[in-house]
Structure formats: structure tokens, C-alpha cells
Amino acid sequence: MALNNGCLKNNIITGDPFVDLGGLVLQSISERFPKKSEIEIVQFLIDVYIKKWNRNLYSVFLTTSKILNPSLKGKYEKSTKSYYQSIIQNKKIESCLDEGYCKTCGKQGLLFHNSRDFFPNSGSGKFVNFHHSHETGIFLCKECTLKLFFIPLGVVLLEGKNGFLHTQSNRLSNFWKHRIIDENLNKIDRNTSTGILRIPYTKSVNALFYLAEQIIMEVKDDEYSDYIQLIIFTNFGADPSCTIHQLPNPVFNFLNKVLRYHKFYWHRFINRFYHIKGAKWDAVNYKWFQEKKGEIIALKEDDYQNNSNQIYEKLLGNKSILRQLENAHKMHYQNQLEKFPIEITYHYIKEVLNMTKEQVELIARISDVIFELSKKEKNFKKYLFMFESAGKAYELRGALLKIIKANFQNGADEPVIRIKDYVDYLFPDGQYWGEIRDLLLIHLYEKYHDEGVNRSEIPEGEIEEAIVEEKHVNTL
Ligand SMILES: [Zn+2]
């Protein structure tokens, strides 16, 4: 029986990451070899695992599984094939349940006993507490049981463990299928596959951003309704683990905007925030330098792409990156570089910080007043210093009050801000004061660029960090 008419017919998304990943691999192989029967597909997989990968599957399957069990030495192929033959034929084997509902897809009928042998990170042996009714394993229908055997071709090596993209969106699943599973199958065709696939990134957080970028470039869309989730797991012996890194939907949409329209500037901005021991950042040439054997050499991206990155950590940890953006605006201005695109900041405050248009306009208006006052008094440094050094909330309020007073003393018709706007838009409930200060300064530097203010008027160094625990930004 052809696979297309068998198991694949029931390739429904179950919501279980492991079963669905196996299903995706099964679908890919089935499409590549439409004439192969189910057992021929299993045989293909056994050949890959045993002959090409030398059974190096210990991070996915347990040593008690038929393909790895040392007591089956010399009989791995035969015993694995015979096990899956019974499953494909829906034949009763030891520990079967005659009748029941599959735990992952809900199908009624004969169910097969699955444990950590082939089902990563599930319960096994005495660990019945992993299962709601304290069964000795997870009981699955034949299709879901079979899919688990396909998992290794759907994962990549990350931090010495296995990683895969989990999503319930078809188009994102297709991306994974095309980029990873097809790549695996191509390597098998070329006889260059020797084990679980490697990607240029080994650090999972960086890999998540790399994959997000690949998706944005490949699966083009103005607005994504999905989020991306990278599951990192190992089912290895006594030390199984599972970590989930989720890229929230607002961050995904923010990346979509900046990568589509400002990719060059975004990459340059990100590079500045890698942690590189003993290296120095050149803010004019946008390069990292390190002294090696008495020689100063520029580092290449490959040298540090697996180091931790402050911006990635902040974006995943729901922390604001506005101060870092603000410093980018200032450094571009100070170093006479072209203007850092204000659009990156706008996309960030719209998509991630969820600031209202009224709030942004109000902050821009206050910035204009600060600029006009500085111009009139021929002293840009004085006001700029007041805001840049405001490291605490009361210092920012104090600086604002000075502006309000100076504006009145200078004979302005309109106040800087009315009390309703102050309460509703400048500091509404839940608004982090540091973000208001950062945005004010970003507008000011934009203005300095546009008006060509003398750079000697600008205080040296980076802007003071706001000293209050940063609020969690609204990601809803
Ligand atoms: Zn099922």
C-alpha cells in the first residue's frame, strides 16, 4: 500500500510537537518517494539511521529502543523493522490496548504503548506520574506511533541538544520542511549525511532570531498572526531536558518591518550588542576589534555570532531596547554618520511597546519645545544634559518642570503640556518613565541631524541608564 494512501491520509496536526514533527518528516519522505510503501519508507529510515548515522540517535531515542538496545546487537535492523511492520499492519503486540482513543490525535481503535524509548521526554518505567491516569506509557494510534520514528530527520543540533521549530501554522511548518527536512534528504541523496543536521548557529536564542529572519525573507507577509517557538530538547539517558524559546508575535512583527525595510542598519545595530570578551567596538566603522598576538584585527561575524547578544535577550525577555536605540541615534550624530533610521524606533514603539499615536506626538511636541528653547538660549548642552543625565524618575520630572517654566518665561502662547495630556498620555498607568525620556532624546537627536546643530554642543559618552527595574513591555 502506498504511503500516500496509508499513514499520510491521517496526517492531521495534533498539537503534540513531537508527533507533529514526525508527521512533517513522514510527509516529506512520502512526497519524495511516492511509490514506496509504508514499510519501504521505514526501511529507508532504518538504513539512514544504521548505515549513514551509525545509530547516533541517543539524544532522541533511549537505549531501550529497538534500534539502540545493546542486547539486540546484530539484530537492530530486523527487530526495528518487525516492530514497525506490526504497527503498520495494526497488529496486536505486547502492551497494546484493544480499544481506546489516541492520546494525541483522538482516533478510536487499537492503541500502542509508547514510552521514552521512541517518544522523547515522556514518562518511562516507574515514572508513571508523567501520565494523567498513571499509565505505564502514552497510548497512541498506529499513525502517531509511526510518526515518532521520523523525528531525528526533523531536528537540528543546538547547544549539544536537538532543536526544532514548533508551530501550528501551515506556512511556517512548510518553511521548516523546506529548509531543514529537505536539506536532510538532499544530503542523504548526496551521501553526505552523517548525523543530525547542523546549522550555522549553535546558540539557541541566536538561532531563533536567525530562523525568524529566514522566515521573514522567505514567507513574505505584511503582518504575521503567528509566533515562533523553538523547542530544545534531549531525551538522553538519565538527563532529559526541554527548553522552549518563544519569539512573541509583536517582536516577530517588529523584526518583519525592520528586516524588510532597514536590514542593513538593523544588523549593524545588533552587532554592537554581542558580548565579546577582550574586544573593542569601533563606533565609527561599526566593527569589533581584538588584539591577537600583538596585532589588532577586525573580527568577522562568524567569530561572535554564537555569543550572547543583549538586544536578543531583551526582546525575548520582554525588556525595552529603547535606550539602546537612543544611543544609536546619538552615536550616529556624534560620529557624523548618516542618520540612524528613525523608522526602526517607530516600528519598535508601535509593534512592541504598543504606544499610542497621541503619546508619540505629545513627546515629539515636547522635544520641539526643548529644541526651540536651546536655540533661543544658544545653549544646546544645558537642556540636553538635563535629560541625558536623568537616571531616576524624579530627575526626569524635574527636567520637564524646568522646561515648562522656561517656556512660560520666554513668553510662549501655549504651555508645553496640559495637565490632561500629562496624565493621559505622558505618564499613563503602566508607562515606564525611562521610555518617555528615551523617546524625547531620540526626537531631539533627529532634530539636531535635520537642523545641523554643531556636534561640540553634545555631551560626550553614552546616555545614562534609567535606574529602575525596567517594566515588562506590553506584548498583547
Ligand atoms: Zn493518533
pTM of the shown model: 0.83
If you measure from the C-alpha of residue 342 to the centroid of ligand 1, how many angstroms do you get, rounded to a whole number? 51
- Give dist(CA 329, CA 337) in Å, integer: 10
If you measure from the C-alpha of residue 419 to the centroid of ligand 1, how many angstroms do you get, rounded to a whole number? 61
If you measure from the C-alpha of residue 364 to the centroid of ligand 1, how many angstroms do you get, rounded to a whole number? 57
pLDDT for residue 467: 59
If you measure from the C-alpha of residue 148 to the centroid of ligand 1, how many angstroms do you get, rounded to a whole number? 11
Asked whether the beta carbons of 206 and 312 are under 8 A apart, the reply is yes
If you measure from the C-alpha of residue 177 to the centroid of ligand 1, how many angstroms do you get, rounded to a whole number? 21
If you measure from the C-alpha of residue 234 to the centroid of ligand 1, how many angstroms do you get, rounded to a whole number? 23
The set of cell numbers assigned to 67 is 534500534
If you measure from the C-alpha of residue 15 to the centroid of ligand 1, how many angstroms do you get, rounded to a whole number? 11
If you measure from the C-alpha of residue 88 to the centroid of ligand 1, how many angstroms do you get, rounded to a whole number? 13
pLDDT for residue 128: 64
- Give dist(CA 322, CA 166) in Å, integer: 30
If you measure from the C-alpha of residue 6 to the centroid of ligand 1, how many angstroms do you get, rounded to a whole number? 13
pLDDT for residue 476: 35
DSSP-derived letter for residue 101 is E
Q: β-strand 197-198 against 156-158: which pairing, if any?
A: parallel
Report the residue count for the chain: 476
pLDDT for residue 8: 56
If you measure from the C-alpha of residue 211 to the centroid of ligand 1, how many angstroms do you get, rounded to a whole number? 29
If you measure from the C-alpha of residue 212 to the centroid of ligand 1, how many angstroms do you get, rounded to a whole number? 30
Element counts in the chain: helices (H) and strands (E): 18, 11
Specify the 3-state DSSP secondary structure of 97.
strand
Look up residue 256 and give its amino acid: N
pLDDT for residue 3: 46
Can you give the pLDDT of all 476 residues of the chain as single tens digits?
Answer: 344 445 555 578 898 999 999 999 999 999 999 999 999 999 999 999 999 999 999 999 999 999 999 999 989 999 999 999 999 999 988 888 889 999 999 999 999 999 899 999 887 666 666 667 777 789 999 999 999 999 999 999 999 999 999 987 888 899 999 999 999 999 999 999 999 999 989 999 999 999 999 999 998 887 777 888 999 999 998 889 999 999 999 999 999 999 999 999 999 999 999 999 999 998 888 899 998 888 889 999 899 999 999 999 999 999 999 989 988 988 888 888 888 899 999 999 999 998 888 888 899 899 999 999 888 888 888 888 888 888 888 888 899 999 999 989 888 888 988 988 888 888 877 677 888 888 888 888 888 888 887 777 777 766 666 655 444 444 33
If you measure from the C-alpha of residue 268 to the centroid of ligand 1, how many angstroms do you get, rounded to a whole number? 47
First to last CA, the chain: 48
- Give dist(CA 322, CA 319) in Å, integer: 9
pLDDT for residue 136: 73
Burial class (CB in 10 A: 0-12, 13-18, 19+), 408: exposed
pLDDT for residue 466: 62
